[in-house]
Structure 1
Amino acid sequence: MLMHPWDTAHDEDEWRAWLSRHDFGRPSVNGPPGEPPWVQPTHFLYEPEPGPHGRVLLHPARPNPLRRALEANPEVLLNVVDDHDFAPGRWTAPEDAPPEHGTPTSYHAAVQLRCTARVVDDPAEKAALLNRQVAHFQPEGGTAPAAPGEAPFGRLLSGIRVLDLEVTGVRAESTDAGNKPREVRERVAHHLSDRDGPGDREARAHRLRRLATG
């Protein structure tokens, strides 16, 4: 992922706060020799501890090729992208230039987590980690916990593998015209509000947070 200096996260707190609002991404692993990488879109749970960068939990089905690939190489790259928008050129033109001289630009925010995977197959540990994920996505409860040998989900545990990903490195960026004057960045945020298309409100909120911090 190319990152210009003006696109990098302001600090660790910024990318952690952004990631806390996002829990769907694309973990990628090395494919077999001669094959492209394998990518699996999935929900995940990011936890800021343990370790300096935290960990990620997810649970692919047992036949998922992700699991087989990790037995050969445990390295994973989890890519999370959101708050994206397209800005027409007239939005980004310099103050002293005609609108048609502006550059049409695509913007986004992204966090890439480099991880080392541990495949969890012990039924008790697998159930405990799975229950943590369910509690994140369904904090109101209403679903019985998974427990080995107990109904209703004990018999289903053999059909999944929990991946416990230790985060070993982080790359975080936000392409939000950080190399342009503040008035241009504010103008783009204003136009996002006017356009109010799919994803524009979320993208605008992200832009305003970036403007408020630098």
Structure 2
Amino acid sequence: MFIQPWDAALGDAEWQTWIADGHDFGILSVNGLLGHAPIVVPTHFTVDGTTLLVHLARPNPVWDTIEVDPNVTFTVTGDYDSVPTSYYAAVQFTCQATIVDEPEPELLRRQMTHFQPDGVHAPIDPDEAPYGRMPPGIRGLRMDVIEVRAKFKYDDHKPVDRHAETARQLTGSSQGLDASAAAQRRRRLDRTSTWNA
């Protein structure tokens, strides 16, 4: 991912806050076996310290390739607008993956706690319905984060007045994620002047 200096994250706290603010769905990219294209899997994920947690169906083709090469990339994007030269936020994690086959579905419990924090789901117990039959059909993936590259492409290098006007126009749009792109532009407005001093 190419990142211009003005598109870089302001620091770890910026991308961490952005991820924690409900950006918990991304794309897992796994190196393909020799002679095959990379495997790309859209999936939910959970953050556990410096590790990303995922669970996938046991028949998923990623397992064989991860056993050969555990280096994976996980990319999360969002807050993009409806213009082809798009404003957007993206966080890309380079990770070392470890396959998790647990007799107890602890990884699944952690994910359910994240996605349904109010506990509005049946207990995850391997001996009880409705989840009892599911754990044998899935495998977990722990992805230890090696590097994070974050990009917030919102024209921070443009003049403040133009920046603010574009945010106003996006706020009034009903297209896709224009409103959330506008919120990101306004949030980073204080940074804009540093590229025009």
Q: What TM-score do you get using the length of structure 2 for normalisation? A: 0.91
What's the RMSD between the two structures over aligned residues? 1.5
How many equivalent pairs are there?
191
**What is the identity, as a one-letter code, of the residue corresponding to 1:162?**
G
2:169 corresponds to which of 191, 198, 204: 191
Structure 1 residue 69 corresponds to structure 2 residue 65:
yes
Q: Match for residue 168 of structure 1?
A: 146
User: Which one of the candidate residues 89, 93, 99 is aligned to 1:119?
Assistant: 99
Query: Cα offset for 1:121?
Result: 0.5
Deviation at 1:117, TM superposition (A): 0.9
1:146 Cα deviation (Å)?
1.9
Aligned position for 2:10: 10
Identity %: 45
Letter in 1 for 2:52: V
Task: Find the structure with the greater CA-based Rg.
Answer: 1
Whether 2:126 is the aligned partner of 1:130: answer no
Aligned to 1:97: none
Unaligned runs of 5+ in 2: 193-197
AA in 1 matched with 2:101? D
Give the Å deviation of 1:213. Answer: 5.3
Distance (whole Å) between structure 1 residues aligned to residue 125 and residue 87 of structure 2: 44
Cα offset, 1:198, TM superposition? 1.8
Greater alpha carbon shift after TM alignment, 149-158 vs 175-184: 149-158
The structure with more helix, counted as a fraction of residues: 1
How high is the TM-score relative to the length of structure 1? 0.84
Within 5 A, what are the aligned runs for 1:1-214?
Answer: 1-21=1-21, 22-47=23-48, 49=49, 54-87=50-83, 105-124=85-104, 127-212=105-190
> Mind listing any 5+ residue stretches in structure 1 that lack a counterpart?
88-103
**Which whole-Å CA distance do the structure 2 matches of 1:12 and 1:60 have between them?**
28
